[in-house]
Amino acid sequence: MKNLSYGKQFLLIGACFAGLGPIVGGMILWLILSPANLSLTGGQVFLAIVSTYIIAFVQAGSSVFHRIEHWSPLKAALAQLLSIYAVYTAAYLVNSWMPLKWEVVAIYTAIFVLVYAIIWIVVSVITKSVTKKLNKKITEQ
Protein backbone atom coordinates (compact mmCIF):
# COMPACT_ATOMS: atom_id res chain seq x y z
CA MET A 1 0.00 0.00 0.00
CA LYS A 2 3.04 2.23 0.23
CA ASN A 3 2.85 3.06 -3.50
CA LEU A 4 -0.77 4.21 -3.40
CA SER A 5 -1.48 7.87 -2.81
CA TYR A 6 -3.13 8.73 0.47
CA GLY A 7 -6.37 9.55 -1.34
CA LYS A 8 -6.43 6.14 -3.01
CA GLN A 9 -5.62 4.47 0.32
CA PHE A 10 -8.52 6.35 1.94
CA LEU A 11 -10.90 5.15 -0.78
CA LEU A 12 -9.64 1.56 -0.72
CA ILE A 13 -9.73 1.17 3.06
CA GLY A 14 -13.09 2.91 3.30
CA ALA A 15 -14.62 0.69 0.62
CA CYS A 16 -13.25 -2.49 2.21
CA PHE A 17 -14.60 -1.78 5.67
CA ALA A 18 -17.82 0.07 4.86
CA GLY A 19 -19.67 -3.09 3.87
CA LEU A 20 -20.61 -3.91 7.45
CA GLY A 21 -21.97 -0.42 8.13
CA PRO A 22 -25.35 -0.91 6.45
CA ILE A 23 -25.77 -4.27 8.16
CA VAL A 24 -25.11 -2.71 11.57
CA GLY A 25 -27.41 0.19 10.71
CA GLY A 26 -30.17 -2.19 9.68
CA MET A 27 -29.81 -4.15 12.91
CA ILE A 28 -29.97 -0.97 14.97
CA LEU A 29 -33.07 0.20 13.11
CA TRP A 30 -34.67 -3.20 13.58
CA LEU A 31 -33.89 -3.26 17.32
CA ILE A 32 -35.14 0.27 17.86
CA LEU A 33 -38.24 0.11 15.70
CA SER A 34 -39.46 -3.44 16.29
CA PRO A 35 -40.61 -2.96 19.91
CA ALA A 36 -42.13 0.45 19.17
CA ASN A 37 -44.06 -0.87 16.17
CA LEU A 38 -43.15 2.26 14.21
CA SER A 39 -43.25 2.48 10.47
CA LEU A 40 -40.68 3.97 8.15
CA THR A 41 -40.95 4.91 4.53
CA GLY A 42 -38.70 3.26 1.97
CA GLY A 43 -36.92 6.58 1.52
CA GLN A 44 -36.13 6.82 5.22
CA VAL A 45 -34.71 3.30 5.28
CA PHE A 46 -32.67 3.95 2.13
CA LEU A 47 -31.32 7.23 3.55
CA ALA A 48 -30.39 5.48 6.82
CA ILE A 49 -28.56 2.69 4.97
CA VAL A 50 -26.69 5.10 2.70
CA SER A 51 -25.81 7.31 5.68
CA THR A 52 -24.51 4.34 7.63
CA TYR A 53 -22.43 3.24 4.64
CA ILE A 54 -20.92 6.72 4.30
CA ILE A 55 -20.17 6.82 8.04
CA ALA A 56 -18.39 3.46 7.87
CA PHE A 57 -16.55 4.47 4.69
CA VAL A 58 -15.17 7.69 6.18
CA GLN A 59 -14.47 6.08 9.56
CA ALA A 60 -12.35 3.36 7.96
CA GLY A 61 -10.79 5.55 5.31
CA SER A 62 -9.75 8.24 7.78
CA SER A 63 -7.16 5.87 9.24
CA VAL A 64 -4.99 6.95 6.30
CA PHE A 65 -4.25 10.23 8.11
CA HIS A 66 -2.04 8.27 10.52
CA ARG A 67 0.03 6.99 7.58
CA ILE A 68 1.08 10.43 6.40
CA GLU A 69 4.66 10.35 7.63
CA HIS A 70 5.29 14.10 7.69
CA TRP A 71 2.23 14.68 9.93
CA SER A 72 2.51 14.58 13.69
CA PRO A 73 0.31 12.07 15.53
CA LEU A 74 -1.72 14.96 16.92
CA LYS A 75 -2.33 16.47 13.47
CA ALA A 76 -3.38 13.06 12.11
CA ALA A 77 -5.73 12.51 15.06
CA LEU A 78 -7.30 15.95 14.64
CA ALA A 79 -7.82 15.39 10.90
CA GLN A 80 -9.41 12.03 11.65
CA LEU A 81 -11.57 13.52 14.41
CA LEU A 82 -12.81 16.34 12.16
CA SER A 83 -13.62 14.05 9.23
CA ILE A 84 -15.44 11.52 11.39
CA TYR A 85 -17.26 14.25 13.34
CA ALA A 86 -18.41 15.94 10.14
CA VAL A 87 -19.85 12.78 8.60
CA TYR A 88 -21.52 11.56 11.80
CA THR A 89 -23.05 14.96 12.50
CA ALA A 90 -24.31 15.34 8.93
CA ALA A 91 -25.84 11.85 8.98
CA TYR A 92 -27.50 12.39 12.35
CA LEU A 93 -29.01 15.69 11.24
CA VAL A 94 -30.08 14.55 7.75
CA ASN A 95 -31.78 11.45 9.17
CA SER A 96 -33.35 13.41 12.06
CA TRP A 97 -31.58 11.13 14.52
CA MET A 98 -30.63 14.31 16.34
CA PRO A 99 -32.63 17.55 16.38
CA LEU A 100 -31.01 20.64 14.94
CA LYS A 101 -30.89 22.60 18.20
CA TRP A 102 -27.68 24.25 19.29
CA GLU A 103 -27.95 22.80 22.82
CA VAL A 104 -28.29 19.26 21.52
CA VAL A 105 -25.47 19.69 18.99
CA ALA A 106 -23.23 21.21 21.68
CA ILE A 107 -23.83 18.29 24.07
CA TYR A 108 -23.35 15.80 21.22
CA THR A 109 -20.12 17.54 20.19
CA ALA A 110 -18.74 17.52 23.75
CA ILE A 111 -19.51 13.81 24.18
CA PHE A 112 -18.14 12.98 20.72
CA VAL A 113 -14.83 14.79 21.34
CA LEU A 114 -14.52 13.33 24.86
CA VAL A 115 -15.08 9.75 23.67
CA TYR A 116 -12.69 10.23 20.74
CA ALA A 117 -10.02 11.65 23.07
CA ILE A 118 -10.40 8.75 25.52
CA ILE A 119 -10.13 6.20 22.71
CA TRP A 120 -7.14 8.02 21.21
CA ILE A 121 -5.35 8.16 24.58
CA VAL A 122 -6.01 4.45 25.31
CA VAL A 123 -4.76 3.42 21.85
CA SER A 124 -1.68 5.65 22.23
CA VAL A 125 -0.81 4.18 25.64
CA ILE A 126 -1.25 0.61 24.36
CA THR A 127 0.81 1.33 21.22
CA LYS A 128 3.63 2.89 23.25
CA SER A 129 3.62 -0.05 25.65
CA VAL A 130 3.78 -2.62 22.86
CA THR A 131 6.49 -0.63 21.07
CA LYS A 132 8.54 -0.40 24.27
CA LYS A 133 8.27 -4.19 24.80
CA LEU A 134 9.26 -4.92 21.21
CA ASN A 135 12.22 -2.55 21.39
CA LYS A 136 13.32 -4.17 24.65
CA LYS A 137 13.20 -7.63 23.02
CA ILE A 138 15.19 -6.37 20.05
CA THR A 139 17.93 -4.84 22.22
CA GLU A 140 18.19 -8.00 24.36
CA GLN A 141 19.08 -10.12 21.36
CB atoms within 10 A of CB 3: 6
Q: Report pTM.
A: 0.70
Same domain, 51 and 108: no
DSSP letter at 70 equals T
Same domain, 53 and 118: no
pLDDT in tens, the chain (141 residues): 556 688 887 877 777 666 666 666 667 766 766 666 667 777 888 888 889 889 988 988 898 998 899 999 899 999 999 999 999 999 999 999 899 999 999 999 999 999 999 988 988 888 888 899 888 888 887
Same domain, 73 and 138: no
- Containing structural domain, residue 106: 100-141
Pick from 65, 59, 53: which is nearest to 85 by CA?
A: 59
Distance CA 140, CA 54 (A): 46
Same domain, 44 and 104: no
Count of domains forming the chain: 2
Same domain, 74 and 84: yes
Same domain, 80 and 115: no
Q: What's the pLDDT score for residue 35?
A: 63
Same domain, 52 and 26: yes
